[in-house]
Amino acid sequence: MKLPISSSVVQEAVKELHIRDFSKATIREVVALANNIEKQTGLEFIRMEMGVPGLSASSIGVQAEIQALKEGVASIYPVIDGLPELKTESSRFIKAFVDLDISPQGCVPVVGSMQGTFTSFLVAGQCDEKRDTILFIDPGFPVQKQQVLVLGYKYESFDVYDFRGSRLKDKLESYLSKGNIACVIYSNPNNPAWFCLKKDELRVIGQLATQYDTIVMEDLAYFAMDFRKDLGQPFQPPYQDSVGKYTDNYLLLISGSKAFSYAGQRIGIVAMSNSLYNRSYPGLTRRYGGGTFGSIFIHRALYSISSGTSHSAQYALAAMFRAASDGAYLFLDDVKEYGRRAKKMKAIFLKHGFEIVYNNDLGEEIADGFYFTICYPGMSGDELMMALISYGISSISLSTTGSNQEGIRACTSFIKEHQYELLDERLAAFQQQEGAAT
């Protein structure tokens, strides 16, 4: 097929989805648009929009889940606070790879980190009626802001691009000092920019969280996937860096989706610090008549949302955590493939005049991993996203991630081996067309 695809084809597909402003389209809407155009034109799309694992699920988890199903767990409701075996292995896994001591009691299975963040937002926002706002250290996962809107909470955000290192303290304190922030959330490694907050930055976040009595939600969806370091050896440094070293006001969100490629079974854990789990808040007491953050998280909020997490998937995650902590399963060896893909994709984009947006990680070159960010001179991120659609390349604009930078997010998970050549050809056509236009 001749490229670019006719603008009328693209506009008609947008119209069919009833999207008023495509620059604000959700990830799922971009997926639907690419599907529609692919079906209509027969053109194979290079999919960079959705962060779906592109590797096979861990066989350790699959076998454990099959065995659990054969033993009849499908007919039994799971315990609401989690399979005891999973709680124990979660605590051990966190000690092995983060070097934090969190009681099994505070390790609670959830239906993926998405449910983990939703429930955490819900409870954190009820602790103190004066604290009605969630603070996002952006860029971040767009759907988390949608969750806040669904809950009816307020949110504030800032792009950390210009506030790394020593500049972070004053910026963060300018928000926390207002007294209205219920919790702070960020991802590490970062989705979409793939930088990693350093120990000194996490220390600042932790110290300010303690000073201003604010909860920190640390989203570790891409657990230990900073491939510049060997973070995959249990019970020995280097460890996954965490704010938990610097405050007791934290909870960790650990997903089975990316590190173990177990996305389809929707399984993860929320791990609350021992202090946070056992703490009572006046807002929670007024609303529920008593209880601690942890008990209300489990027996009030989580119970109301899902009445527990898939029974068999809990056996799978427990088995994967156990094998990883034992050193029998080097889980990061599998997902390093994403780093290899990113390196090849970046090279092709750079060859055709693109630039990396978040290209510096406090003096280090940005890591190669699950995501990277790119821009094209003279084009906004929204314009670039729409333009690339016409070349059979789907992505999302950085504007939807809370970034103030112009560009798009590219995900490496779905690129197929034969598509590197396709990507090269299509970007060459794009560069030629854009050059002629200017």
Q: Kindly state whether residue 405 falls inside one of the protein's structural domains.
A: yes
Tell me: pLDDT of 438 over 60. no
Residues 106 and 37 in one domain: no
Q: Single out the residue in 326, 356, 386 at which a domain terminates.
A: 326
d(CA 307, CA 82): 11
Amino acid at 117: T
Range of the domain at 157: 59-326
Is 225 within a domain?
Answer: yes
Query: What is residue 436's predicted lDDT score, i.e. its pLDDT?
Result: 62
Q: Domain total for the chain?
A: 2
Residue 1 lies in a domain: no
Mean pLDDT over 351-368 rounds to: 94
140/186 same-domain check: yes
Residue 41 lies in a domain: yes
The mean pLDDT value for 257-277 works out to: 97
- Do 16 and 164 lie in one domain? The reply is no
d(CA 202, CA 168): 10
Residue 12: is its pLDDT beyond 90? no
Q: What is the pLDDT of the chain when averaged over all its residues?
A: 95
Tokens (6 digits) for 382? 């929204």
Provide the pLDDT confidence category of residue 394 given band limits of 50, 70 and 90: very high
Q: 92 with 136, same domain?
A: yes
Among candidate residues 326, 358, 373, the one where a domain is terminated: 326
Residues 116 and 189 occupy one common structural domain: yes
Assess if residue 321 is contained within a domain: yes
Domain co-membership, 311 together with 359? no
Are 285 and 373 members of one domain?
no
Domain end among 275, 296, 326: 326
Q: Are the CB atoms for 410 and 374 separated by under 8 Å?
A: yes
**Domain identity same for 199 and 251:** yes
43: nearest Cα among 384, 428, 419, 334: 419
**CATH code of 146's domain:** 3.40.640.10
Domain annotation covers residue 313: yes
User: pLDDT tens-digit profile of 300-344?
Assistant: 999 999 989 999 999 999 999 999 999 999 999 999 999 999 999
| Alpha carbon distances (Å) from 297 to 18, 238, 286, 396 | 37, 32, 15, 33
Residue 108 pLDDT = 98
**Within this chain, do residues 119 and 264 fall inside the same structural domain, yes or no?**
yes
Note whether 93 and 219 are same-domain residues: yes
Looking at residue 6, its pLDDT comes to 85
In a domain, 218, yes or no: yes
Q: Is residue 2 part of a domain?
A: no
Question: What do you get for the CA distance between the two ends of the chain, in Å?
Answer: 24
Q: Are residues 280 and 408 in the same domain?
A: no
The CATH number of the domain holding residue 382 is 3.90.1150.100
Are 301 and 348 within one domain? no
